[in-house]
Amino acid sequence: MKLMFLGAPGAGKGTQAEKVSAKYCIPSISTGAILREAMSTGTELGVKAKSFVEKGALVPDEVVIGIIKERLAQDDCSNGFILDGFPRTVAQAEALDAMGIKMDLVISIEVSDDDIVKRMSRRRLCEKCGASYHVIHIPTKVEGICDACGGNLITRKDDKPEVVLDRLSTYHKQTEPLKDFYAAKNLLVLVEGNKSIDSITNTIYSKIDSVRG
Ligand code: AMP
């Protein structure tokens, strides 16, 4: 099963991808998480990515395409995978085609810009393991402390309101055209993202099950 999540930053791609990953036993691959990890350990990739990520711009196509090529070649991807946050440009989608990868389903989680801005201000990230939370919708058991590893929760630099507006504009200009790209291949389904997390998950499961037959 090869699945892809599209949607604005903060639409819930990562949250849903984790659930789908657990249910169908396929890895969820987030280019954003790979880049954040590289930035926090200070690798060459991290240094290259930092200025783009922190201002809400996209990291150059060739860099993320290289990351994805390497990641998809790993053994755990042999039965399928979920792409969360890749591709984000038509050039990246074309690179995936050129790699001979045929997706089974592309799920776009639809949330209005106003709601995205509200959500992002309440999103939190564990600085140690990268787990994602939301002050209201996905709270931790102990405030400010990650349930999974006990690390401290922080606000991502690129979740600050001024950067979120730039990320949204980048999304509309560069990533949203992918909806037409995948609709033309009959792979696109739209899912209303302004519902409870569980109800969105159930809708997504039923879309996946209808493709699996
Ligand atoms: P995310 O965690 O998916 O919201 O990604 C955080 C940031 O990482 C984005 O705002 C971009 O700067 C960068 N990024 C993640 N995935 C990609 C991608 N496929 N292409 C370019 N930049 C990316």
Question: pLDDT tens digit string along 138-166?
Answer: 999 999 999 999 999 999 888 988 899 99
Tell how far the Cα of 41 is from the centroid of ligand 1, in angstroms. 17
Q: Model-level pTM greater than 0.75?
A: yes
> How far apart are the C-alpha atoms of 194 and 122, rounded to whole Å?
15
User: What is the number of the ligand 1 atom nearest to the C-alpha of 9?
Assistant: 4
Residue with CA nearest ligand 1 atom 8: 32
Residue 213 has pLDDT above 80, yes or no: no
The answer on pLDDT for 198 being more than 80 is yes
Active-site choice (2, 13, 71, 119): 13
* b/e burial code for range 175-188 (CB count within 10 A of at least 16 → b): beebbebbeeeebb
Buried b (16+ CB within 10 A) or exposed e, 11-22: bbbbbbbbbbbe
119 classed as catalytic: no
Average pLDDT value for residue range 182-204: 97
Average pLDDT of the chain is 95
